């Protein structure tokens, strides 16, 4: 539901029907990665700012420069803003654009994973370490070796941690083949297999990859890979992984068609079979999410641009309960009610 297609009266009507309100309104937040640490919900969002940069397909107007951590005792409770947890000026290798982050915990330490552009304009993914889930976090001097693109999401399974990442267009995933950057590379042609997210198991120290990143393959109902021109189902950005009743759920954004979708499989590496949509389009161009369980109930964390009046790069994090049917399928959600 991009704002360029929406009149202000329509925007106000949708805002009034919204199924949830922003978790905070004193700042703009987006791309929420939610986790339960020490019995409390923590949300790691991007921190949107107005930098006065012209809109373009590379996303230069998304000029975020720091991370704030949000938390709450339980869903529906007051949200606490813990302040700046990491700033780009404190990251030796990063120059700009602190995009969607995630966090993980192991052996008494908390790890904040984040993408940023280096001076050469190429995204890599870094890690910063803290003693508290709210930070502050101290960054490593260099990005993770072998990392690239954007949107890290870290999933723990059986004591191992896996990072999913990658986004096309401004996220630069289309520039890579076999984990190697090529400036001339572009998206596959129509009818060719779609670009895929990447996954790599993290080392025991949580600061490097233990293996080369591999493709996250999404199949259709016939067992064939989704195609590049299947814009309503193919992967674009914003990966997330969760596990429900023994199944692995890989969810993601379709980007230019503005859906959150998911696929399921029997391994954290996949392959995954496409299952359907999670969330209908929101106000604003981007859609990005996470899924988190709290005390036996599941929640979808997402964002929209309703608070800013439809400004794509000034977004607000929201959450709503997520439900499964008897077969384990996620029941699709409309962010503005059944009539939206």
Cite the active site residues: 31, 237
Half-sphere exposure of 7 (CA within 13 A, CB side): 2
Structure tokens at 48: 């949107």
How far is the C-alpha of 32 from the C-alpha of 96, rounded, in Å?
19
Adjacency order of strands within the sheet including 102-106 = 102-106, 109-117, 123-130, 138-139
How far is the C-alpha of 50 from the C-alpha of 62, rounded, in Å?
8
Mode of pairing for the β-strands spanning 272-279 and 218-219: parallel
DSSP line for 278-290:
EE---SSS----E
Mode of pairing for the β-strands spanning 218-219 and 198-201: unpaired
Distances (CA, A) of 200 to 147, 196, 214, 215, 225: 9, 13, 6, 9, 20
């Amino acid at each position: 539901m991009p704002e360029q297609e929406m009149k202000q009266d329509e925007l106000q009507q949708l805002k009034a029907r919204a199924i949830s309100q922003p978790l905070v309104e004193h700042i703009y937040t987006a791309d929420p990665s939610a986790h339960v640490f020490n019995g409390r919900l923590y949300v790691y969002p991007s921190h949107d700012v107005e930098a006065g940069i012209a809109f373009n397909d590379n996303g230069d107007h998304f000029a975020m420069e720091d991370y704030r951590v949000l938390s709450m005792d339980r869903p529906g409770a007051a949200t606490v803003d813990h302040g700046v947890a990491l700033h780009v000026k404190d990251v030796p290798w990063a120059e700009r654009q602190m995009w969607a982050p995630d966090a993980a915990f192991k052996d008494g330490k908390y790890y904040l994973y984040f993408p940023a552009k280096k001076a050469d304009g190429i995204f890599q993914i870094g890690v910063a370490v803290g003693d508290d889930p709210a930070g502050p976090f101290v960054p490593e001097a260099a990005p993770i070796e072998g990392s690239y693109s954007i949107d890290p999401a870290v999933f723990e399974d059986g004591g191992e941690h896996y990072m999913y990442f990658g986004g096309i267009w401004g996220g630069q995933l289309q520039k890579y083949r076999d984990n190697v950057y090529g400036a001339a590379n572009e998206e596959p042609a129509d009818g060719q297999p779609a670009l895929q997210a990447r996954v790599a198991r993290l080392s025991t120290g949580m600061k490097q990859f233990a293996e080369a990143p591999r493709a996250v393959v999404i199949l259709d109902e016939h067992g064939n890979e989704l195609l590049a021109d299947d814009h309503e189902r193919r992967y674009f950005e914003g990966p997330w992984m969760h596990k429900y009743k023994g199944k692995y759920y890989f969810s993601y954004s379709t980007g230019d068609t503005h859906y959150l979708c998911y696929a399921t499989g029997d391994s954290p590496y996949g392959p995954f079979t496409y299952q359907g949509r999670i969330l209908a389009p929101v106000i604003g161009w981007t859609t990005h999410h996470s899924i988190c369980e709290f005390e036996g109930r599941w929640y979808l964390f997402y964002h929209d641009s309703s608070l800013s009046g439809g400004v794509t790069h000034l977004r607000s994090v929201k959450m709503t309960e997520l439900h499964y049917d008897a077969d384990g399928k996620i029941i699709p959600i409309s962010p503005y009610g059944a009539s939206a």
